[in-house]
Structure 1
């Protein structure tokens, strides 16, 4: 476990958490259950650089702090989803080739399980929205974001992430 929590890793993860909060909470557009933004990038990069453990913790911390800073209140269901994003990015992409196939597999799994199903479940439980309505909204959001996530992760990793990874090693 000591390998995961070096000063360098904690500093990098903290910077990515801060970046996630700014992008997600202040630079995203939310319409009903649909949020369109690029807050996934810092979590994806943190998980890809530092692994699933640090990615999971970073995503959860970003969700909790973001909710507190925004004043929206915190709900654990959304925190679980955030943690699962960090975990899946880490499991699919940490120490592995950042190929379009691997990125697509990760993003499509997230879209189906986390975005559509769990997202709809959390909205159903947290609000008065019916499950089919929430599922429709979350599914539309997931479908729109799949190609965006794949292209953005692959492109930015190629030009930024790979260089950062070389510097770290």
Structure 2
């Protein structure tokens, strides 16, 4: 039970960081958001695993919209996208050696399935804009962000890895 409490507390910390990164430290347009929200999602996936990370990302999306909607209506498709993002990062990164190649693969997978796939579909449903206009802008954004996300996930993990492993005896049990 003790490790479950630690897991919940850590997941809550990642939820709070993700809400802050998404709602306050991002650049938002109707079809593109440039944000650092991928960092807490990826780190929670590395430490907590796919299911917990997916649930934490979905909760962060719901609470972020409830608390800081900025006049935009809630759309459940983005919550599904958040869950799947955390889940995919967890499948690829949890309990594995974190390398640049693995981080690149995780980011590409999430970009293709979530950003270019699901989120584009959700935006088409919401905005009724042309698919080509939405998709072309998202491809440019994702190609620009691909190396940035890859390197940030890798180097942030490298910076905190020894601290996480030495201070978290529960890390090995996740």
Instruction: Decide whether the 8 Å contact of 2:89 with 2:110 is kept in 1.
Output: no
1:33 is paired with a residue whose SS is: coil
Q: Provide TM-score, normalisation by structure 2.
A: 0.90
Matches within 5 A, 1:1-169: 6-71=4-69, 72-169=72-169
- Where does the alignment leave 5 or more consecutive residues of structure 1 unmatched? none
Distance, in Å, in 2 between the alignment partners of 1:165 and 1:87 is 22
After alignment, is 136-145 or 96-105 more displaced? 136-145
Deviation of residue 163 (structure 1)?
Answer: 1.9
- Equivalents in 2 of 1:147, 1:15: separation in Å? 26
Instruction: Return the alpha-carbon distance in structure 2 between the equivalents of residues 42 and 118 of structure 1.
Output: 20
TM-score normalized by structure 1?
0.93
Counting matched residue pairs gives 167
- Partners in 2 of 1:13 and 1:51 — Cα distance? 10
| Structure 2: 5+ residue stretches without partners | 170-174
Q: Partners of 2:161 and 2:63 in 1: how far apart?
A: 25
User: Is the contact between residue 92 and residue 102 of structure 2 (CA under 8 Å) also seen in structure 1?
Assistant: yes
Once the two structures are TM-superposed, the CA of residue 75 in structure 1 deviates from its matched residue by 0.8
Distance 2:165 2:51 in 1: 17
| Cα separation, 1, equivalents of 2:26 and 2:36 | 7
> 1:73 deviation in Å?
2.9
* 8 A contact 2:78–2:119 mirrored in 1: yes
Shift of 1:127: 1.2
How many angstroms does 1:68 deviate by? 0.9
Determine helix, strand or coil for the equivalent of 2:36: coil
For the aligned residue pairs, the C-alpha RMSD in angstroms reads: 1.5
User: Which runs of at least 4 in structure 1 moved beyond 4 Å after TM superposition?
Assistant: none
Shift of 1:155: 0.5
Name the CA distance, whole Å, in 2 between partners of 1:60 and 1:149: 20
